[in-house]
A and B are shown apart, each in its own frame.
Chain A
Amino acid sequence: MKLGFYPGCSMKGGSREYKESVAAVCKAFDIELVEVPDWNCCGATAAHNLNKELALSLPARILAQAEKAGLSEILIPCAACYNRLSVTQHELNENDKLKERVKSILGMDYQGTSSIINIIQMIDKYVLPNLDGKVVKSFNHLAACYYGCLLVRPHGILKFDRPEDPVTMDNVIRKIGGSPVEWAYKVECCGAGLSVSKTEAVARLSGKIVEDAADRGSQVIVVACPMCHLNLDMRRPESNKYLKRNIDIPVIYITQAIGIALGMSGKELGLQRHFVPVILKEKPEEPAPVKPAKKVVQTQEMEA
């Protein structure tokens, strides 16, 4: 099958291993990725911080280009790009005046009919149903699935998973043999766009995320966003410094996790490109699990 594809800038640079692993996984499942022709940057945080119309026009151009190429469903693996494009589509669909204005800025027609999906939705929809028999190496690790902000918020627009306690990625990990850990920082912010301009804040925020993952015994942090990856991986020295601890949990993309389970090589998946070396420890043998008490269904009985 064919799927529209918007890689976004960072996939060409800082997170090329994400692209490599997305490509590898898609290939394994016969998904042909058709890049949006002559795509541009979505404008990221910078654009909407500085100028609203620009922040809408840049993503709108991408969508218009996709429409022109007849791409009805577009995979956007970068959570930030996914968010910007989704929000743009929503805002323009809600406001005809704005839509007209943006169309005139673009000098292009724009309908807003393409459906946009993020990487986890794509995996959920096209990979999981065909997973049977493909897993050659169980992903036997305690994994902290980190969703970040932009996959789940604003929920009213993205309508993806449960905004406070998402589970889709955990489910993917479980399906490939992994054990997702219960932890508290699934949707906390990593500091995102302030990585360069306010590194100390990012060190703090990312540090707390990494720390919680470590404290819960995670052996790997799984992400679905280049920005998150950057902050949790490349900024590890800074965050370790902030934490005054040396945490060496590797951070990998969800597609890399799937690739590993499919038996792909580290090189194929670009694991060597990470700052924190990807050394995956096996999940320890657990003592026979204590049978959890039967789930109590609380019923609030009332009079009559």
Chain B
Amino acid sequence: MARIGVFICHCGENISATVDCGKVAEVTSRLPGVAYSTDYKYMCSDPGQTKIKDAIREFHLTGVVVAACSPRMHEPTFRKACAEAGLNPYLCEMSNLREHCSWVHPKGDVTTEKAIDLVRTLVEKVKKNESLMPIKVPVTKTALVIGGGVAGIQAALDIANCGHKVIMVERDPSIGGHMSQLSETFPTLDCSQCILTPRMVEVAQHPNITLYSYSEVESVEGFIGNFKVKIRKKAKCVDEKDCTGCGLCTTLCPQKKIPSEFEQGLGFRPAIYVPFPQAVPNKPVIDKPNCTYFQKGKCRICEIKCPTKAIRFDQQDEILEVEIGAIVLATGFNILKTDFFPEYGYGKFKDVIDGLQFERLASASGPTLGEIRRPSDGKVPEKIVFVACAGSRDPAKGIPYCSKICCMYTAKHAMLYKHKVHEGNAYVFYMDIRAGGKMYEEFVRRAIEEDHAHYIRGRVSRIYEKNGKLIVKGADTLLNSMPVEIEADMVVLATAGVANDGAEELAQKFHVSYDGYKFFAEAHPKLRPVETNTAGIFLAGACQAPKDIPDSVAMASGAASKVAALFSNDELTREPLIAEVNRCAPPLFSTCTGCFLCQLVCPYNAIEREQITDRSGKLIKELAKINPGLCQGCGTCVALCKSKSIDIHGYTNAQVHTEVLALLNEYA
């Protein structure tokens, strides 16, 4: 027989002003199973808590209902008090008389009646409460950072500096990401490479960081604190230990005209190559599809000439399996493909380029050594047109969002151009200037006022080539939409930032959700911006949405701090309020039918398949099993289970049922 204690709190006058607390205590004391009932001015105070503890001991209470304020604040308080008196804390529940009753209703009998209803409901529930123990999950204190751009680098260094192991996986031969391609950065115009390179080197040299470049994640299993990740190390065909990075091979390779990815196709590289001089690791890889030996079966010049005999043509991809406690996704973004703008001739006219290409032109280490020369004939452009919102804010092209970074880098481009070609003319077609950020607006104004970039408010309709010029047709919407036609030498499109190639597959691999544009989705847009819906997986940088360097770095540090917090304990303590699939005697083992429709709906991927076998190993039955490390207790599986084989501890079917009946005054 249940022996429930009921404690009605006045909350000063917060509750007692409209609810007759004494009456609530008196009426509820008569409920079957209630062994003790009282009211008090401040239940959360020390004397209040003492009342609860004393009553537990004196009346041998089997459950406690505290009718007070929101459990958000004081549930831990009262549960702790109960635990101190020897009662399992999960046998204590709070009824929220303040927010749910006294604050929202006037004083009166009806209000008191409602308070009684609320308390009675919970009394019935607590009768069916069970003692629960918090769940402990061991934590592997190694983080996996995917992506070696500025966000990944920042996250890796921050975690590593906290003393935890980090594995970094980078798809390309070198880390550095888009930031390493940039010339200067807004709004300070400091050199991108100069600030990034030391960080890249730091990653390579950090004792806590293991870098796998030219590698990809093959598969992910497990859950927070206990991921098992397979990494595919693509064959570089160069022995990393033997190679000294002397670079001789790259100069001897007969293939010299392969468009360089790093130079955005504006420069060339050989088939055995280091993407850029400051690359980390600074050791070459062989690009098999473009290598003469791999394609034609002979050449081997690099192998023959290598002073340390480091070339390994027979090297195969290698699969590594690592145990990981937390994952940071920092896979970055991409820009629009060239077939996106037929009306601008993007991809058709050589001198219509994108922002990243302009960065390479402006970069001192770029194909033109920092001189602004147009790709078609190497001429220094006298007139250059920048087109903002090229693809962004364009629902017709499927990208209604603002790419956020273009306004700033376009201003920067105009400025860089004017700094390098003093007599040149820079035109910027824009729709709005979005320069929210420290020193950002000032930066744009500088481009206009000091560097005399011609800003024209209007969208370009068409660009075509004529006599070596690019005719840009726009309109000035601030001048009655008067047509504007500019004969430019070069056009730079501030193409929209889009989700990276393979983002969707990657998201599915990691079971993180993503939005309609395939950017990874954060768990909460405001309060959990670096977490994903899958516990233990965090986001950093532009894989979540287009963002600039400071934002990416800040987010990376945020993700790193989340990882560090997770790693601060050996075990992860989780609330035991999670779902469980029932078990019963053979031959059923469980009433679960193994339809696994629950598996489909679980947002946390917490449902696994468990096989029941007989002694000889023959499969008897396949059941759903809930991984306590992953389950967040959302209850979706419970709602879907047709055979009612799943229950959530703390909110069992029986508890909810009895609560409903009690509320209808039909309690058992």
A residues apposed to B, CB below 8 Å: 162-165, 184, 212, 215, 294, 296-304
Contacts and interface: CB of A to CB of B under 8 A. Distances in A.
B342 A165 contact: yes
B332 interface: yes
Given A300-B337, A303-B330, 18 more contacts: A184-B466, A297-B259, A297-B265, A299-B261, A299-B265, A301-B171, A301-B262, A302-B171, A302-B172, A302-B177, A302-B332, A302-B333, A303-B149, A303-B152, A303-B331, A303-B332, A304-B146, A304-B217
A303 B265 contact: no
Contacts of A298: 259, 264-265, 338, 347
Contacts of A294: 257
B466 A304 contact: no
B467 interface: yes
B419 interface: no
Interface string B334-353: 11011000110001100000
A163 B262 CA distance: 33
16 contacts: A184-B471, A212-B466, A296-B265, A298-B264, A299-B259, A300-B501, A301-B261, A302-B172, A302-B501, A303-B171, A303-B176, A303-B177, A304-B215, A304-B217, A304-B331, A304-B332
B371 interface: no
Given A162-B342, A165-B348, A215-B466, A300 B335 contact: yes
B178 interface: yes
Contacts of A297: 259, 265
Given A300-B356, A302-B500, A184 B170 contact: no
Among A162, A215, A302, residue most surrounded by chain B Cβ atoms (within 10 Å): A302
A302 B465 contact: no
A245 to B, nearest CB: 15
Nearest to B168: A304
A215 B334 CA distance: 39
Contacts of A164: 342-343, 462
Interface in B142-196: 146-149, 152, 169-172, 175-178
B42 interface: no
B216 interface: yes
Contact of A304 (B147, B262, B264): B147
B596 interface: no
The 7 A-B pairs of least Cβ separation, nearest first, read A164-B342, A184-B464, A301-B261, A304-B171, A298-B265, A303-B147, A303-B177
A299 B258 CA distance: 11
Tier of interface size on chain B: 35 or more
A303 B328 CA distance: 13
A164 B257 CA distance: 32
A29 B265 CA distance: 47
A22 to B, nearest CB: 29
Contacts of B265: 296-299
A301 B148 CA distance: 12
A303 B177 CA distance: 5
A216 to B, nearest CB: 8
A299 B500 CA distance: 12
B37 to A, nearest CB: 61
Contacts of A215: 466-467
Contacts of B337: 300
Nearest to B495: A300
B398 to A, nearest CB: 14
Contacts of B261: 299-301
Nearest to A163: B342
Contacts of A304: 146-148, 152, 169-172, 215-217, 330-332
A204 to B, nearest CB: 13
B334 A303 contact: no
Given A184-B465, A184-B466, A300 B147 contact: no
Nearest to B268: A296
Nearest to B465: A184
Among B148, B332, B466, residue most surrounded by chain A Cβ atoms (within 10 Å): B466
Among A297, A302, A304, residue most surrounded by chain B Cβ atoms (within 10 Å): A304
Nearest to B174: A303
Interface string B351-388: 00000100000000000000000000000000000000
A239 to B, nearest CB: 18
A302 B172 CA distance: 7
A45 B16 CA distance: 78
Contact of B148 (A162, A296, A303): A303
Contacts of B467: 215
Contact of A301 (B172, B175, B348): B172
Nearest to A293: B257
A164 B460 CA distance: 14
B95 to A, nearest CB: 51
A210 to B, nearest CB: 14
A128 B337 CA distance: 32
Among A294, A296, A299, A300, residue most surrounded by chain B Cβ atoms (within 10 Å): A300
A212 B465 CA distance: 11
Interface string B225-264: 0000000000000000000000000000000010101101
A75 to B, nearest CB: 27
Nearest to B343: A164
A302 B331 contact: yes
A303 B152 CA distance: 9
A304 to B, nearest CB: 4
Among A163, A184, A303, residue most surrounded by chain B Cβ atoms (within 10 Å): A303
A115 to B, nearest CB: 26
Contacts of B147: 303-304
A298 B176 CA distance: 19
Contact of A303 (B170, B257, B338, B462): B170
A302 B541 CA distance: 13
Interface in B254-294: 257, 259, 261-262, 264-265
Contacts of A165: 342, 348
B144 to A, nearest CB: 11
Nearest to B345: A165
Interface string B447-475: 00000000000000010111100010000
Contacts of A301: 171-172, 261-262
Contacts of B342: 162-165
A291 B215 CA distance: 38
Nearest to B375: A296
Contact of B334 (A163, A296, A302): A302
Nearest to B180: A303
Nearest to B275: A301
Nearest to A186: B464
A294 B256 CA distance: 13
Interface string B305-331: 000000000000000000000000011
Nearest to B213: A304
A154 to B, nearest CB: 12
A300 B261 CA distance: 6
Nearest to A300: B334
Interface string B111-144: 0000000000000000000000000000000000
Among A163, A297, A299, residue most surrounded by chain B Cβ atoms (within 10 Å): A299
A294 B290 CA distance: 14
Nearest to A298: B265
Contact of A302 (B178, B215, B343, B347): B178
A246 to B, nearest CB: 20
